[in-house]
Amino acid sequence: MRVFERMRALRAFENQHLLFLKTGGHHHLIGEIGHQQTVGKPLTLKQLFLLDIGSVATVQRHLRKLKELGLVQHQRAACDRRSVELTLTPKCVRIFANYDALMDSKPPARDVTQGSGERSRVFGLFDSESGSQRLIVSFLTQGLKLGDKCLLVAPAAAQIRILEELNDRRKGPRQLIVSEGYETADAHVAFLKRVMREAKRAGQSMRLAADVSWTLSRNVPVGVLLDIVRRFDVMTRKLPLTALRVFDTRHFSSEDILRAAKCYRDHSRYSIVVG
């Protein structure tokens, strides 16, 4: 039943983005501040203390923690500079907007390019540039629609063709990041970490599309690529991630492809597509 898929997706989202709500005071503060912000009447600090959520000291402690997490902000009221108004930060608003959309959306038919809302990986085998290009474009288009932080790693020539088809469908700055890869595992992993941190700060899921032919233009051995894959997998175990890696069978030996496929230990969960 699809209801259980929805429940799993919601639970994964909550564990990634809404753990702060497990503290009762945080839950009440976010609810009250968000409601008043939605109706266009930001809650003042004085009004917050009168809501009987807890003692002044308790409310101040919860409020301080929410500010440290980058979820609540305050500013002087325009009409009365003596009053302090509380609002949710854009980051917090985005998190709840995504949560609301997840709760209201109808579960889609299964598509290997869409991911599961938790962790999903797709291993692609192709013998033509057009085949891999179609899958990568479809994969990234879905991510851009969902507001994911998207990353494309591919040789320069492939990037040009893919970006032409995407036709700049980004919703915001740096939603789609493009790279030709790095020559060492350490440099490439450091780059992936930076993108991952950006996704976490923005409250976004992460989507990685890689045309593995980038390793050829950088003279990166397959062993180094597999080291990158394993290290990235460990880094992102608690991050909602959908990853697509496409191998052109004309450029990689069957032995190398088999070694790469073995990185996908649970093939009952991770899809393999051929084109």
pLDDT in tens, 126-136: 888 887 888 89
Q: Which residue has the higher pLDDT, 28 or 137?
A: 137
HSE, side-chain direction, 13 A CA sphere, residue 111: 12
Report the amino acid identity of residue 40.
Answer: G
Q: Greater confidence, 172 or 237?
A: 237
* Same-domain check for residues 202 and 88: no
Domain end call among 49, 72, 103: 103
End-to-end CA distance of the chain: 30
Beta-bridge partner residues of 72: 88
Q: What is the CATH number of the domain that holds 63?
A: 1.10.10.10
Shared-domain flag, residues 89 and 185: no
The amino acid occupying position 67 is: K
pLDDT digits (tens, 9 = 90+) for 193-231: 999 888 888 888 889 999 999 999 899 998 899 899 888
Name the residue among 72, 60, 58 with its Cα closest to residue 20.
72
Q: Do both 124 and 52 map to the same domain?
A: no
Is pLDDT larger for residue 188 or for residue 37?
188
DSSP state of 202: T
What does the pLDDT look like over 91-118, one tens digit per residue? 888 888 777 776 665 444 444 444 444 4
Residues 227 and 118 in one domain: yes
Q: What is the mean pLDDT of the chain?
A: 79
Q: What angle do CA 214, 215, 218 make, to 5 degrees?
A: 90
Please state the rounded mean pLDDT for residues 140-155: 89
pLDDT at 265: 53
Residues 50 and 92 in one domain: yes
Strand-pair partners of 179: 153
The parent domain of residue 249 ranges over 112-274
Over 80: is that where the pLDDT of 255 sits? yes
Residues 118 and 81 in one domain: no
CA dihedral 255, 129, 165, 99 (to 10 degrees): -20
Per-residue model confidence (pLDDT) at position 116: 41
Domain C-terminal end among 103, 122, 153: 103
This prediction's pTM: 0.56
